[in-house]
Amino acid sequence: MKEQLFTRAMVREFGDIRDILRLESCPLPELPAGKVRVKMAFATINPSDIITLSGAYRSRIALPFVPGFEGVGSVSESRDPQLPVGTRVLPVGSMGAWQNVKESEPQWCFTVPDFVSDRQAATSYVNPMTALLMLKEELDFAPGMRIIINAANSAIGRTLIRMASQMGLAPIAIVRRAENTGLFAADRTERVLNSSDGGYPQALAELKASGGVAAILDCIGGEESLQLAEVLTPGGQFIHYGLLSGRPIPATFWRSRPDIRFSNFHLRMWVHSHEKARVQQRIDEVMAMISDGIIATEIAAEFPLEQIQLAAAAVLSGELKGKILLRL
């Protein structure tokens, strides 16, 4: 019997994604008891993947490893009766999406409905799930409340804007470039602010004078966090979920506003601390929003796994607007 082979992108040292990724062809091992094997269809390359490969989290990641936190596929071999062959799933809970097949624990395989395409399903976890959970699990929700969302032109920022509008919130979008202020014409936003505009400080002061905002969803950090904190109502909520500035929130943030209810949100931490049924319920909500047209991920390009170096270069260039998929 001919030996079955599969291809994977392997990382054996940390560094620049363009230098350290190596494609390997390997024999397919026997599937252990209690596990499933997923034939991957698509995977994404997210900024978090590139950060992971750089070694930023090396203290908790062992080499070697196959990168990729997000992707979709179908069960091709199963040792679990609850996940028969052919079931479409998101195999999450660990890295390893950048390969033809991924071995997974059944509890980390979440089913995907037929009405969502592979491409949208492949991009439904990291950004849409994070957005949904912050709004429905982390935010102290009240209809009509004003919230600030910075980096609103990013993939997750636009998803947050659309979800917040759908939920009856009043989102205020903050972008860094004038050309991005028009991105929200079809969305229900209270205001769109350009943080590089000379009138930005005055706009924030006007927001504060008009009652402030009840919550801020921040993925930038640094001095911007300190600046936005001044607009929060007394006892307002500050949800921090990213550090695009590369700079931590200054210590003066807490000294100037000790009343703020501050929290860090991590998708992985939430998913790993809840039962599978609860996680599946939230994934189903994301899928329904995709089906209803409330949210959708713009796909900028697709590359076969064999061209992963080209895909990585496209991500790093920043020239393509939208997600870049690996076709597996």
Convert the pLDDT of each residue in 229-254 to its tens digit.
999 999 999 999 988 887 889 999 99
Thinking of the domain 132-268, which architecture would CATH place it in?
A: 3-Layer(aba) Sandwich (3.40)
Alpha helix ranges (H) inside the chain: 17-20, 47-54, 118-122, 126-133, 155-166, 200-209, 222-229, 252-256, 267-272, 276-291, 308-317
Please state, rounded to an integer, the average pLDDT across all residues of the chain: 94
| pLDDT in the model for residue 318 | 78
Contacts of 293 (CB under 8 A, 6+ apart): none
| pLDDT in the model for residue 320 | 79
- The structural domains of the chain, with segments of one domain joined by +, span 5-124+297-327, 132-268
| pLDDT in the model for residue 58 | 83
| Equal fold, 5-124+297-327 vs 132-268 | no
For residues 170 and 146, is the Cβ–Cβ distance under 8 A? yes
Can you read off the two tokens belonging to residue 77? 């071999």
The CATH number assigned to the domain with range 5-124+297-327 reads 3.90.180.10
Looking up tokens 């049924």 gives 277
Beta carbons within 10 angstroms of residue 60's beta carbon:
6
| pLDDT in the model for residue 321 | 80
pTM above 0.85, yes or no: yes
| pLDDT in the model for residue 1 | 52
**pLDDT, tens digit, 9 for 90 and up, residues 133-182:** 999 999 999 999 999 999 999 989 999 999 999 999 999 999 999 999 99
CA 244 to chain centre: 13
**pLDDT, tens digit, 9 for 90 and up, residues 2-48:** 678 999 999 999 999 989 999 999 999 999 999 999 999 999 998 77
**pLDDT, tens digit, 9 for 90 and up, residues 265-317:** 999 999 999 999 999 999 999 999 999 999 999 999 999 999 999 999 998 88
**pLDDT, tens digit, 9 for 90 and up, residues 94-135:** 999 999 999 999 999 999 999 999 999 999 999 999 999 999
